[in-house]
Amino acid sequence: MDHINVKHWNKQLPPEPKIFVLVGPGGVGKGTVASRLIAADPTLWLSRSWTTRPQRTGEDADAYVFVNREQFSAHVDAGGFFEWAEFLGNCYGTPLPSPPEGHDVLLEIEVDGARQVVQKRADACVILLVPPSIEVQTSRLRARGDHEDHVAVRVAEGQSEISLAREFATVEVVNDELDTAVAQVAGIIDQHRRT
């Protein structure tokens, strides 16, 4: 009987993507910073969150996957979220990330969600983005079209969000001047990739 030589190829699996979490209170500019980072870094992949909140006037249709509560709940039940939370009466969730090969993942999420991510991936780099002042945060919320009563709630909630996030964030960046903040976050991502 002939013996057949079978070669076993030890194929190296691609490294697990790094997870970068951009977190901070409403009106701090997470979305703008995330968009700039994605535009500048072709190896960074932004995971689009789901939400049950209505689309804001003037907001891009692809800012979130806008769904109703039934669709959201069905995805929760199917185990389709990396993290999810209810915030100010609306649900937000990050689908299980599936970036293209060779890409790292950027999540732009709320504080409760970021905590869940850290529990699942302790190596995640959490970047806390904070406003330079409450006055600036208030002005940004108004500028994006939030109702006055919602602005007050968001600002109050934002202070407790910052306190909670400081307990587990890797680093904190003040978003005072946009270009500077984006450059700082990009530098943090680059440094974390080297470790």
pLDDT, tens digit (0-9, with 9 covering 90-100), for 135-153: 888 888 888 777 787 788 8
184: domain CATH number is 3.40.50.300
Residue 67 has pLDDT above 80, yes or no: yes
pLDDT at 14: 58
Q: Is residue 159 part of a domain?
A: yes
Q: Is residue 82 part of a domain?
A: yes
Q: Is residue 140 part of a domain?
A: yes
**CA 109, CA 31: separation in Å to the nearest integer?**
9
pTM listed for this prediction: 0.81
Residue 15 has pLDDT above 50, yes or no: yes
pLDDT in tens, 77-93: 999 998 898 888 999 99
Query: Which residues partner with 50 through β-bridges?
Result: 65, 93
Q: Is residue 9 part of a domain?
A: no
- Edge to edge, the sheet with strand 50-51 lists 65-66, 50-51, 90-95, 81-87
Residue 74 has pLDDT above 50, yes or no: yes
Q: What percent of the chain has pLDDT over 70?
A: 93
- How many angstroms from the chain centroid is the CA of residue 18? 13
104: nearest Cα among 41, 184, 166: 41
Q: Is residue 86 part of a domain?
A: yes
Q: Is residue 28 part of a domain?
A: yes
Half-sphere CA count of 195, side-chain side, radius 13 A: 10
* Mean pLDDT of all residues belonging to the chain: 88
Q: Is residue 4 part of a domain?
A: no
Q: Which domain holds residue 135?
A: 19-194
pLDDT at 8: 47
Q: Are 152 and 159 in contact (CB under 8 A)?
A: no
Q: How many domains does the chain have?
A: 1
What is the pLDDT confidence band of residue 11, given thresholds at 50, 70 and 90? Answer: low
Residue 6 has pLDDT above 50, yes or no: no
